[in-house]
Amino acid sequence: MDKSDPACRHRVKTSAQWSLYVHAASILFTLFISTGTEMVVLTPHPPQRLNPHGRSYYQQIEEPWLKACCDGERFKIMFAHPRIKTARDDIYEYWPTDRLDEWMARYPGAEVVQRWGRHNWDVVQQSSYRQSELRQARATILEKMSLYTTRAAVYWHVASSAEDVR
């Protein structure tokens, strides 16, 4: 989101409203992605692929929803590390099977270009959401939005006026 864009809602929302807005956008993004077969996440170089505190939108919202709502036999989460020059175009499976060891074998001398600071990597937090709750929430949201999937796209009913959107 470009906060300098005049159409951006950031200017007309309080911090709390903006946070809810961004979280909702993240959930809608995840619902849309879950109708496909894979998703590619751009992350820093291993071992710091994810925020050690588990406080990114991806870790708190998107990944738990995808893991709960998608069948691991039909949907894959892929990782890419574009800051590693030699590995920019290489993606590998993160879920349901983490293929990090294979990636590390292909790029044994890959240089770390970003650090998260002083963190204990043994205490990376996992989401506290229950998969059954997320599956039910997904079904409820899809019903409320009248969301229908097709092979090519996702469609949902749009509010009839700008007033309905606010």
Round the average pLDDT of the chain to a whole number and report it.
74
Report which residue type is found at 159: A
In the predicted structure, residue 59 carries a pLDDT above the cut 80: yes
Q: What number of residues does the chain have?
A: 166
Strands 76-80 and 38-42: parallel
In the predicted structure, residue 68 carries a pLDDT above the cut 70: yes
Q: Which residue has the higher pLDDT, 164 or 136?
A: 136
- State the pTM of this model: 0.62
pLDDT band at 87 (very low <50, low <70, confident <90, very high): confident
In the predicted structure, residue 13 carries a pLDDT above the cut 70: yes
Strands 38-42 and 91-95: unpaired
Task: Tell me what pLDDT residue 15 has.
Answer: 85
Query: Which residues, including other chains, have CB under 8 Å from residue 98's CB and lie 6 or more apart?
Result: none
Task: Tell me what pLDDT residue 140 has.
Answer: 67
Q: Which residue has the higher pLDDT, 124 or 101?
A: 101
Task: Tell me what pLDDT residue 72 has.
Answer: 85
Question: Rounded distance, CA 110 to CA 45, Å?
Answer: 8
Question: Rounded distance, CA 99 to CA 79, Å?
Answer: 9
> What whole-number percentage of the chain has pLDDT above 70?
68
End-to-end CA distance of the chain: 19
- The structural domains of the chain, with segments of one domain joined by +, span 13-109+119-129
